[in-house]
Each structure stands twice: as C-alpha cells, then as structure tokens.
C-alpha cells in the first residue's frame, strides 16, 4: 500500500472517530430520554428525571405518576443519565454524585403482596453537605406529620418555614410543630412516606407546591433516610402502613371518662378555704342546672394551691408521712363529681422542694449541664408560667420514682381520679443551644414522660406525644382561639382527623369556646356550633359554663347534647375502639376513607366519619344555616337522623339546610 492510500485511510478513520464522538455527544445532550428507570418492582418502579432532578414513582403498566420527589441538593444544572453501581443486585440501586453524596435505593423485603416499598437513603460524604428532598403536591393531597396551631386538612394549604421536626409548645411558638407528631405522611395517590425515627430532620411546607425534608449538616454527617410505599389507594395504603405507627399492641385508656363531661375550673384562690368554697359553689351550680355527673378539671395553679394546703411541700423520699389536708374530709360532699389535677415536670427554683434537693445533693433529679472544667452539674433553668424553673430528669430512675411517689400521694390526698401532665413539649437543651445527651435528643423527653405517665395506670392525660399511640393514655388537644378561623373552631375537625389518622383516637378536644383568648366567650352562635362538634368526639370538654356565656335556651341545648353524646356517641366509640385494637383503623375517619378514589373527597375538612356507619357534618362558618355535604361510597344509602330522609352515596347534597339548633348526622342503611 502506497503512502497515498495510507493517508486516505487515516483521514477516513479520523472522520469516523469524529462522527462517533459527535453522535455520543448528541445522544447525551439531545437524543437521550429525559427519564430512565432505576428500579422496578412488580407493579411500580422508580425513574430518574435528569432535567428536573427528581425521582418519580409510577405504575409500570399505565406509567401513571404516583409521586415526584425533587432533589433540592443539586445545583441548577442538568444531571445526565445515571448508571446503577449496584447492577449485580436487581433489587438495589446505588450512585455517587461527584464525591458529595451517595444514594442507595432498595426494595423493602418486608413489603406485603398489596404494598410495594422502596427504602431511600442519602449519605453525605463530607460534613457540610445538606441533603434536601421535596415531595410534590401537584395532583397529590398530603396528610400526617405534626399538628400545628392552624390545622388544615390536607396540609397542602399550609406554609411552614424549615425548622426541626420536633414537638414545641404552641402557646410559646405558634408557628412551630405542635403536640402530636409522627414521621409519617400519607398521599391521596396511595403512597406513604415514613422517616427513620431517630435521625435529626428539618421540615418545611410551601403551600400547594411541596413539603421538604432536610438533614442536619454536621460532623456526624447525618443521613436522610425514609421509606416510600405504594398501595392500591389511599385507604389501603394507610391500612397497610398505619399499623406500623402503633409499634406495639395498643391498650385502651380508662374509658369511663367518655361519659363524663369535663368542666374546667378557673376560680382564683390564695388559700385552701377559698378554693374549697369556690369548688363547692361551682359543683352546686352544675347540680342546680341539672348537668349531671362530670369531672372538675383543675389547672396547675389550682392544683398547687391544694398541694400546699398545710404550707408544707410534698416530701422527698426520706419523709414518710404528710399531714392530710382538711379537703379530704370534705371531698365526699363533692361527689358524684370527680377531680382532675394538673402537674408538670417543672419546679420553681424558689420552692422549698427544689432548695431541699440541692441541699441533699440531688442535682441529678433535674436536667443539668455537666461542667467540662469541673466535676459537677448545674441544673438547666427555663421559664415556666412566669417563674424560673428546673425540669425533672426523666432519665434518672431515682428522680422518676421520687416524682411518681409525689403524684400518687397527691392523688390519694385529693381523691383525684385523673392527672394531666403538661409542659413536656419542646427540648430544653435545644432551646438553650446546648447539645443534649444521646438519650434526650429530639422528642425523646416527651416520649419518656408518656411512658412514665402510664405507671400511674390508664387514667393519665398528656398534652404532647410521639411514638406513643399504643399507650393507654388520653391526649389533650392544643388550645384554640375563640373565633371561627383555622386557629379556632374551623381547625377542630382537621385536628380530629389528624390525631386519629396517627393513632391518637382517645383525645380530649379543646374546651368549648376556646381558651387562648383568656376572656369569657359571649358569642352564642360560636358556642353552639363548637358544642355540636365536640358532642361527637370522645370527651365533652367545657371551659365556659353555658349559664355564664349564654341564655337558658343554650343551657337546655347543652343538656340535650350531653345526653346525645352519652347515649349515641360513646357506644360507637367503644365499638370502633375494638377495630382499632385489632386492625389499627382510626375511629374518626376522613370522608375519603369510604371513597378513596374520589378527588372531591380529598379536600373535605368540615365533616368526618365515626367508623363506617355515621357521618357528622357540622357548620363551621359564621352565620351559615346551610352547607354542602358529601355522602361517600357510591351505592350506599344514608339517612339523616334529624329528618329521616334517605340519600344515595357518591353525591353532594348542595345547600343542605342546617338550623342553628341542629347538626347534620347521617347513619348508614344496610
């Protein structure tokens, strides 16, 4: 071959190489599909959208999008086709981005035949990496997470800035996350998302756009881990995954309280004599107005007045006897009313009980900060109800036994049936920017206090909870404003649905009329509409007696609704509590529970089901005497208990008449 032909062949080779290079570049930049499959299961799979930086969960057959997770950690540049680095294992996907973060996705081997789950784990490869995943709200309604002061159902219409996903005191921090929180979210397309329990997480919500999870950058390089599952529809999704929220076999609290109205006592007293006269007068008024048996609920301030009747604080372990106050001798005159007292884990630093603990070298009874330079601990101080206070150390067995001994003695002395534990929300270490001990990170304090409350039996009430729905406790709902907003009456039903979805079926709703305003309610319409909602909940709680706020006709109406609660509602709750114990289904259910594929049902936030047989549709708008009502489940018949009219399910009743005296209640007709 002469030199001329060699030159031609060489040039031809260069041209071919250039064409191949151009082709590869064209394929990568222009002709490459926007998405590629990264993992498949039997009926669903995950794809990667290279332009939108998103993981997309979709069905295999129809390729219908169920969930879109936007990866917010990457710069705004197109990320190319990603290749599985764990290709030898068909149930796992691995990839590393630029030595910044590692992604692992693998199929959950514990998935049931009707449920497919994907475990997603982002691991930072250096300490400053922030991983952020955002779950789209486009065509998906979301439920679950944490209670908030202005509760909505679904959570799509809320705006919440990014903050640690832990429980806070909403009275102090109204824009924070509230008293009931679970790391569980449920989507209307039949998807669920459950986060790993002990990893620090921040969460934000952008109205009608997405909610986002973020890890906490730091030297421990905390990962972002969660599990996404898909089921046939939203109801079956919760039935499959909701039972995991219980964690243990649930136990019922003392259900006697279901039949007893709770009357909050706000009388001021500086002495036992004043307190005794006030309680007796309040009790006599309840009897005079024929309001029957109930519970007088004392605030922590009133409880402290009775606690210090003989001017001696409850003893430490070394004291064996305490003079019984005269109130015990007169308590039988208060019957048949029962007494509920309120306590907290806080003790004023000015109290003899705190001073004595320091004198006896029992600093470990209080949450403390250990000095690194010296071998001693200093109790952490915080403001509680206007006083600098120390907080009980729930990780000290000696402190817990001492505290329980005090509570038991106080219950015995006062003849109290129920104890409310308040003030467990928040993390005193985080508030003071002090790294907490490992056993008290996040919401561990409130979880431990819930377990301690059960040591007193099944008649305790707590104001905050996480991972505690299986415990035999009642849960006090957040205080509410005395108005018609989502911070007031309109937020009650969304809160009911939220609590029950997360497994907290035995709750005490906010007192009728609200308590945050600090003033007596005089709006009769608001009082009546609030009364009508609370009638169909586990416990009827009153903050303002009807004879104070309203006329005699409202007092008569109150008697009627108390009887209706006892005769109609309580048997239903008892019936469906058995279903909750055996299957984990909520007692109070959203409308979509019976119409899981009806889009109109996903945003209904002003009616609810008790089990599967009763629809309650109160009025939540001021001045309204008619409303739209959706009757779920096509083919089902429903009867209005007020008029005996029968209607078909799967349809709306438009502008349905609701006089002020009535609340629409429909029962299922077989």
More confident residue, 204 or 20: 204
pLDDT of residue 438: 87
- Compute the average pLDDT of residues 476-482: 94
pLDDT of residue 445: 95
- What are 39's two structure tokens? 């993992």
- Compute the average pLDDT of residues 605-610: 98
Residue with tokens 């009546």: 528
**CA atoms of 540 and 534, how far apart (whole Å):** 6
More confident residue, 8 or 70: 70
Half-sphere exposure of 488 (CA within 13 A, CB side): 20
Q: Which of 115, 143, 141, 140 is nearest to 240 (CA)?
A: 115
- Compute the average pLDDT of residues 196-210: 94
- What are 130's two structure tokens? 């922030």
Share of the chain above pLDDT 90, in %: 65
Q: Which of 308, 394, 378 is nearest to 346 (CA)?
A: 394
Paired strand residues for 45: 40, 58
Paired strand residues for 591: none
Q: H or E element: which one contains 339?
A: strand 338-343
Q: Is the pLDDT of residue 314 over 50?
A: no
Q: What's the mean per-residue pLDDT of the chain?
A: 88
Paired strand residues for 223: none
**Mean pLDDT: which of 21-35, 67-81, 393-407 is highest?**
393-407
pLDDT of residue 327: 44
pLDDT in tens, 153-175: 999 999 999 999 999 988 888 99
- Say if residues 636 and 589 touch (Cβ distance below 8 Å): no
pLDDT of residue 161: 96
pLDDT of residue 315: 39
- What are 593's two structure tokens? 């529970």
Residues whose CB falls within 8 Å of the CB of residue 487, separated by 6 or more in sequence, listed in order? 149, 150, 480, 481, 516
pLDDT of residue 108: 85
What's the distance, CA 169 to chain centroid? 13
Q: What is the band of 18 on the pLDDT scale with cuts at 50, 70, 90?
A: low
- Compute the average pLDDT of residues 582-594: 96
Q: Is the pLDDT of residue 25 over 90?
A: no
Here the contacts of 85-92 (C-beta below 8 Å, separation 24 or greater) are: 91/39, 92/39
Q: Is the pLDDT of residue 312 over 70?
A: no
**CA atoms of 474 and 492, how far apart (whole Å):** 17
**CA atoms of 55 and 38, how far apart (whole Å):** 9
pLDDT of residue 7: 60
């Amino acid at each position: 071959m002469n030199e001329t032909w060699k030159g031609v062949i060489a040039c031809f080779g260069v041209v071919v190489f250039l064409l191949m290079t151009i082709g590869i570049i064209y394929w990568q930049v222009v002709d490459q599909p926007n998405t590629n499959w990264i993992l498949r299961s039997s009926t669903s799979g995950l794809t990667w959208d290279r332009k939108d930086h998103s993981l997309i969960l979709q069905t295999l057959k129809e390729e219908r999008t169920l969930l879109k997770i936007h990866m917010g950690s990457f710069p705004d540049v197109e990320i190319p086709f990603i290749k599985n680095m764990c290709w030898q294992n068909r149930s796992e996907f691995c990839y590393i981005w630029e030595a910044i973060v590692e992604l692992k996705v693998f199929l959950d081997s514990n998935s049931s035949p009707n449920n497919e789950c994907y475990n997603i784990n982002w691991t930072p490869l250096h300490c400053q990496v922030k991983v952020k995943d955002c779950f789209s709200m486009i065509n998906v309604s979301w439920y679950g997470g944490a209670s908030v002061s202005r509760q909505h159902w679904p959570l799509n219409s809320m705006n919440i800035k990014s903050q640690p996903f832990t429980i806070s005191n909403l009275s102090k921090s109204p824009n924070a996350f509230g008293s009931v929180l679970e790391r569980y979210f449920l989507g209307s397309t039949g998807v669920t998302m459950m986060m790993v329990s002990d990893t620090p997480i921040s969460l934000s919500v952008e109205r009608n756009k997405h909610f986002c999870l973020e890890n906490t950058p730091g030297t421990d390089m905390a990962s972002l881990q969660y599990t996404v599952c898909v089921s046939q529809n939203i109801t079956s999704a919760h039935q499959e995954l909701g039972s995991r929220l219980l964690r243990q076999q649930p136990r019922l609290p003392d259900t006697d309280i279901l039949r007893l109205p709770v009357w909050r006592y706000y009388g001021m007293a500086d002495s036992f004599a004043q307190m005794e006269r006030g309680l007796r007068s309040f009790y006599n008024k309840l009897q005079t107005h024929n309001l029957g048996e109930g519970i007088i609920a004392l605030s922590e301030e009133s409880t402290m007045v009775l606690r210090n009747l003989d001017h001696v604080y409850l003893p430490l372990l070394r004291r064996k006897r305490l003079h019984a106050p005269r109130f015990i001798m007169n308590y039988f005159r208060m019957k048949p009313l029962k007494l509920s007292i309120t306590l907290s884990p806080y003790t004023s630093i000015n109290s003899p009980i705190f001073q004595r603990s320091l004198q006896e070298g029992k600093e470990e009874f209080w949450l403390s900060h250990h000095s690194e330079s010296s071998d001693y601990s200093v109790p952490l101080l915080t403001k509680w109800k206007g006083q600098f206070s120390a907080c009980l150390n729930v990780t000290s067995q000696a402190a817990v036994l001492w505290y329980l001994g005090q509570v038991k003695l106080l219950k015995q002395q006062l003849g109290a049936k129920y104890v409310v534990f308040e003030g467990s929300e928040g993390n005193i270490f985080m508030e003071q920017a002090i790294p907490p001990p490992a056993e008290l990170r996040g919401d561990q304090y409130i979880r431990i206090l819930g377990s301690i409350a059960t040591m007193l039996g099944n008649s305790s009430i707590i104001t905050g909870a996480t991972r505690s729905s299986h415990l035999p406790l009642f849960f006090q709902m957040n205080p509410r404003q005395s108005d018609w907003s989502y911070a007031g009456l309109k937020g009650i039903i969304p809160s009911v649905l939220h609590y029950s979805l997360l497994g907290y079926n035995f709750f005490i709703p906010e007192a009728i009329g609200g308590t945050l305003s600090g003033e007596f309610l005089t709006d009769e319409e608001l009082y009546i509409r609030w009364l009508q909602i609370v009638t169909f909940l586990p416990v009827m709680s009153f903050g303002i007696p009807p004879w104070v706020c309203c006329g005699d006709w409202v007092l008569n109406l109150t008697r009627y609704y108390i009887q209706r609660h006892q005769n109609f509602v309580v048997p239903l709750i008892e019936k469906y509590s058995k279903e909750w114990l055996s299957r984990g289904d909520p007692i109070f259910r959203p409308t979509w529970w019976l119409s899981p594929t009806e889009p109109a049902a996903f945003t209904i936030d002003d009616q609810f089901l008790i089990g599967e047989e009763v629809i309650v549709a109160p009025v939540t708008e001021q001045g309204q005497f008619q409303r739209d009502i959706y009757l779920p489940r096509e083919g089902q018949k429903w009867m209005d208990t007020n008029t005996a009219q029968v209607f078909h399910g799967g349809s709306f009743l438009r502008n349905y008449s609701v006089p002020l005296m009535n609340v629409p209640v429909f029962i299922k007709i077989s």
